[in-house]
Amino acid sequence: MRLRYGAEEEAFRAELVAWLDANVHGFENLRDNKRSSAYLTDEARAWQQMLFDNGWLVPGWPPELGGRNATPPEQMIYFEEISKRDLSRSLNPQGLGIVAPSIRDYGTPEQIERFLVPTLRAEIAWCIGMSEPTAGSDLASLRTRAEVFDDHFVINGQKVWTSGAHHADWCICYVRTDPEAPKHRGISAVIVDMQTPGIEPRPFPELSEATYLDFNEVFFTDVVVPRENLLGELNKGWALTQGSLAHERAMLWIDYAYLVERILENLVDLADRPGPGGKALRDDPDYRDAIARTYVDSQAIMLMGYRGFAKFMRGKAAPEHSLLKLVGSEVMQNALLAGSDALRAEGLDQDLMGPHLWRRGAWAAQWMRSFSGTIPGGTSEIQRNIIAERVLGLPR
């Protein structure tokens, strides 16, 4: 099922499709599993700048910020077309998707001038220092300390899971600036130059691919940061953490909806292969169930997404968005597991087939990677807590 749009919106789609058809050539496969999420290749910079210059980078924003003041339905069309083609807008997704909106919303005029357009034009790359060894889901218990002086901060502590820190130019680092205050109230966000003396990023590999280095531990020892790099108000950094994650979640479901559909097509393509006992997989009731379940779930994601969108358009709160992150990431994971199970040992080196696949690679590796959807931005368990308490109103 697909939402139908009006003539004006379809004209917007036609313009976008024509632009993509004319310009995307050579930029379709920017994603590179060997490079970190803050490593911007020349092609990636050129593509992001081209999107920016033509108002197709963040269509809902004004032209001077890489957009064209697109309406919400037009923005949805935009994300549909980008997801359908499996295009990356940026090779530094945390810079474009989280840092840029945070700076736009909380930055001083000087910070906006200094960082916003260079981030949007892929001139600089970012990492985000939130998680610590003892502060992940419970982010508010972070311990990295920033002592506050008249014109600077001095940071000491450790972050972990910091994607792309070894390649990033800048970091939005969440630090404790008031150790006496209740834990949510003593946190600030500071913009840190990753070249500052005292910062040591130590990259470490992912479970799914030993040669892929994106995660880092980052150690801060007496790191001096100018006071003007405070983002938002002192001790009010918690508001930014909530804003950052909301930006991340806003239209994520469209991507999940299209990814699940693509995995579903792949599951159907495997159905003629022999399964356990030599019979074709299509005759295996478990495999047929997995296909049917994935199909039903993919439709549910789409419908739930549309419902949330309709509420958003009427200015109402849309709890569907908490559900969509949970359901989208878990449905994708289950569908990848069904394919890996069906292929058994072959799943270790048989690639998912079909055009424009998200992060190419074998079924089993894709399944392992899919955990990257169910952990960051609030694990599945945390999402369930939020849904239970804030959506269903259940007691703690």
Ligand X SMILES: Cc1cc2nc3c(=O)[nH]c(=O)nc-3n(C[C@H](O)[C@H](O)[C@H](O)COP(=O)(O)OP(=O)(O)OC[C@H]3O[C@@H](n4cnc5c(N)ncnc54)[C@H](O)[C@@H]3O)c2cc1C
Q: How many CB atoms lie within 10 A of CB 265?
A: 13
Residue in 93, 136, 198, 203 binding ligand X, rule: CB under 6 A: 136
Instruction: For the chain, report the end-to-end CA distance as a whole number of angstroms.
Output: 37
**Contacting ligand X within 86-125 (CB under 6 A):** 94
Short-list 54, 82, 74, 83, CA closest to 7: 74
Which residue in the block uniquely carries the two structure tokens 């296909």?
Answer: 291
Residues 16/81, Cβ–Cβ less than 8 Å: yes
DSSP assignment letter at 352: P
Whether residue 173 contacts residue 232, with contact meaning beta carbons closer than 8 Å, is answered with: no
Give the residue at shortest CB distance from ligand X: 136
Tell me whether residue 253 is exposed, middle or buried, using C-beta atoms within 10 angstroms of its C-beta: 0 to 12, 13 to 18, 19 or more: buried
The tokens for 319 are 């709890």
Return the range that interacts with ligand X (CB under 6 A); candidates 5-13, 15-23, 52-60, 128-136: 128-136
Give the one residue of 50, 303, 375, 387 binding ligand X; rule: CB under 6 A: 375
Distance (Å) of CA 71 to CA 74, 120, 217, 305, 355: 5, 20, 40, 17, 30
The nearest distance, CB 257 to ligand X, in angstroms, is 20
Among 75, 83, 92, 162, contact with ligand X (rule: CB under 6 A)? 162
Asked whether the beta carbons of 198 and 222 are under 8 A apart, the reply is yes
232 binds ligand X (CB under 6 A): no
381 binds ligand X (CB under 6 A): yes
Minimum Å distance from CB 335 to ligand X? 19
Give me 285's structure tokens: 């009731």
Considering only 36, 83, 131, 144, the residue that binds ligand X (CB under 6 A) is 131
> Which residue number, 144 or 298, has a Cβ lying nearer to ligand X?
144
Each residue 49-88 as x (binds ligand X by CB under 6 A) or -, in order, gives: ----------------------------------------
372 interacts with ligand X by CB under 6 A:
yes
Per CB under 6 A, does 137 bind ligand X? yes
DSSP 177: S
Query: Could you tell me the smallest distance in angstroms from the CB atom of residue 122 to ligand X?
Result: 18
CB closer to ligand X, 56 vs 161:
161
Is 303 a binder of ligand X (CB under 6 A)?
Answer: no
Binding residues for ligand X, how many (CB under 6 A)?
Answer: 18
* DSSP SS3 for 203: strand
Binding segment (CB under 6 A) for ligand X, from list 66-74, 83-91, 160-168, 249-257: 160-168
**Residue 62, helix vs strand vs coil:** coil
Q: Which residue has the tokens 């950094």?
A: 237
Residue 248 among the catalytic residues? yes
376 binds ligand X (CB under 6 A): yes
Of 70, 103, 128, 192, the one binding ligand X (CB under 6 A) is: 128
Does 334 engage in binding with ligand X (CB under 6 A)? no
Stretch that binds ligand X, among 2-10, 20-28, 111-119, 126-134 (CB under 6 A): 126-134
Burial 291-306 (b: 16+ CB within 10 A, else e): beebbebbebbbebbb
The rounded distance, in Å, linking the Cα atoms of 164 and 126 is 8
Part of the chain binding ligand X (CB under 6 A), chosen from 12-20, 43-51, 156-164, 317-325? 156-164
Catalytic entry in 248, 320, 330, 346: 248
**Closest by alpha carbon to 216, among 33, 44, 36?**
36
Under the rule (CB under 6 A), what is the footprint of ligand X?
94, 127-131, 136-137, 161-163, 372, 375-376, 379, 381-382, 385
List, by residue number, the catalytic residues: 248
